[in-house]
Amino acid sequence: MEGLTHSDITNIFIQISLMLLAARVFAELARKLKQPAVIGEITVGIILGPSLFGLLFPDAFASIFPSSGGSSIVLDGLVQISVVLLLFIAGLEVELNVVWNQGRKALMIAFFSVFVPLLIGFVVAISFPSILGLSSDLPFVYALFFGLSISITGLAVLARILMDLEMFKTNNGLLMIAAAMIIDVLAWIIFSIILSIKGDSPEGMGVVLTIGLTLGFTFLMLTVGKTIINRVLPWINQKMAWPGGLLSISLSLCFLAGAFTEYIGIHATFGAFVIGVALGDSEHMTEKAKEILHQFINNIFAPLFFISIGIKINFIAEFNLTIVAIVVLLGFTTKVVGSYIGSKFSGINTNNSLIIGFGLNSRGSVDIVLALIALESGLISEEIFIGLVIMALLSSIASGSIMKMIYKRTQSIIAK
């Protein structure tokens, strides 16, 4: 049986050590600049990857991050695990009771925030596939994904911005959080259906069956699954070591659900996300446990994933200004306008609707995972992927500042 060589193992540890260290340094720099850590982590990935380090020191890059061999496979595996865990905590963040409490307004905002960019993105992509470099064999599916990719909100980034602006517990803050939660759920269900249509399911499992299994799995997990979780968690909390027992069982369930959705031809992340929602919504999943899971995944696995993007993709060689400009402009305008329209229809005034529009334009977490899966599934080209990453970075940086500006203006008007 073939195993890892001594040099493979050494290399793996060097890779992980270098990635974690670099991620920490750049996350700290981002923090100093009052930006989310993810911005530093993606940036350092680009620096460490073929775009810069590989360009200047090709031999050193090839020896630390070889494109084939044992260490490359292990790193790929580790990144896959990181992606699944990242989506698991994205699911944990969704709190259905917060969504219900915000009610119709949150639903309305989420609907327009997703469907305006989705629709416009779809129309643009299907009308100009060659400009966007989309494949022509399944134009409907590719165009649909393009629309979806610009319609997502980064819940974690939004939460951070709202906390910095001390808006988290305001009516608008909770409304945005609830809308972002709905957007997450909607986006992943739509994405899993896109993957089903694209047809990566095992032989003999048709599109209809895959979609049926996907929706059935989601429904079962959020009803029966949640009931079982509610029965089992108190027992785990009482009888097992805490938080060890809870963490082991939660992660075990996360990987099991991931294995199931991977088997039926949708990415493992979908299963992890749905089980995250079911677990996170349980009253027995304490906030402390969520915090521990967040810290553990956000500080170890998330950096590995975000850095790996820059290491895989050459952001300079594959950079296409036209595509980046279209993606960024389309992403920004449709998302802000869609969320703004939703807010106005919900009866929210113009300034607050603008704040919500820019708030929901924050990206930089789940959307990048989704884009990477799409890239790996052949749904998008590297050029579009780069456009989506740049859009995520720019919108994360811009949203906070623009929201702050409008918020201050609103406050000064109220004060007068």
Partner 1 sequence: MFQKIALAIAFSPRMEALMCETKRFARLFNAEVIFIHIGERIEEEEIELNRIFEKNGFDLSKITVIWEDGNPSKKIISICKRENVDLLVTGALKKETFFKYHFSSIARKMMRRSDVSLMVLIDPKINPKPFHNIVINGTDDPKTAEIIKKGIALANLEKAKLVHILNEIQLLGLRMSMAGEDIASKVEDTRRRLIQDEVEKIENILSEIDKEDLKINIKIVSGKPGYEISRFTERAKADLLVLRAPNHKLSLFDRFFPHDLEFILNDLPTNLLILQAN
Residues at the interface with partner 1 (CB under 8 A): 27, 31, 36-37, 92-93, 95-98, 100, 156, 159-160, 163, 168-169, 174, 177, 223, 281, 283, 286-291, 294-295, 298-299
Using the structure block, give the residue that is written with the tokens 């992943």. Answer: 188
Least gap, CB of 243 to partner 1 (angstroms): 12
Nearer to partner 1, 203 or 287 (CB): 287
Q: How far is the CB of 342 from partner 1 (least distance, A)?
A: 21
Look at phi and psi of residue 388 and say left if phi exceeds 0, alpha if psi is from -120 to 50, else beta.
alpha
Closest distance between partner 1 and the C-beta of residue 255, in Å? 21
Structure letter (DSSP) for residue 56: H
**Minimum distance of partner 1 from residue 101's CB (angstroms):** 9
By beta-carbon proximity to partner 1, the closer residue of 36 and 54 is: 36
Using the minimum distance from each CB to partner 1, give the nearer residue, 107 or 126.
107
Whichever of 119 and 215 has its CB closer to partner 1, that residue is 215
Structure tokens at 20: 């974690």
Q: Tell me which amino acid residue 232 is.
A: V
**Cβ proximity to partner 1, 268 vs 279, nearer residue:** 279
Q: Least distance from C-beta 99 to partner 1, angstroms?
A: 9
Burial of residue 416 (CB within 10 Å: 0-12, 13-18, 19+) is exposed
Kindly tell me which of 264 and 278 has the beta carbon lying closer to partner 1.
278
- Long-range CB contact pairs, 64-73, < 8 A, 24+: 64/11, 64/14, 64/15, 64/18, 65/15, 65/311, 66/11, 69/8, 70/3, 70/4, 70/5, 70/8, 70/12, 71/4, 71/8, 71/9, 71/11, 71/12, 71/15
> Which of 397, 364, 354, 380 lies closest to 152 in space, CA to CA?
364
- The span from the CA of 289 to the CA of 169, in Å, is 22
Least distance between partner 1 and beta carbon 233 (Å): 12
Which amino acid is residue 251, in one-letter code?
A: L
DSSP symbols for 154-194 = -HHHHHHHHHHTT-TTSHHHHHHHHHHHHHHHHHHHHHHHH
**Nearer residue to partner 1 within complex by CB, 97 or 248:** 97
Least separation in angstroms between CB 93 and partner 1: 5
For residue 354, count other CB atoms closer than 10 A to its CB: 23
The least CB distance from residue 231 to partner 1, in Å, is 12
299 vs 377 by CB, closer to partner 1: 299
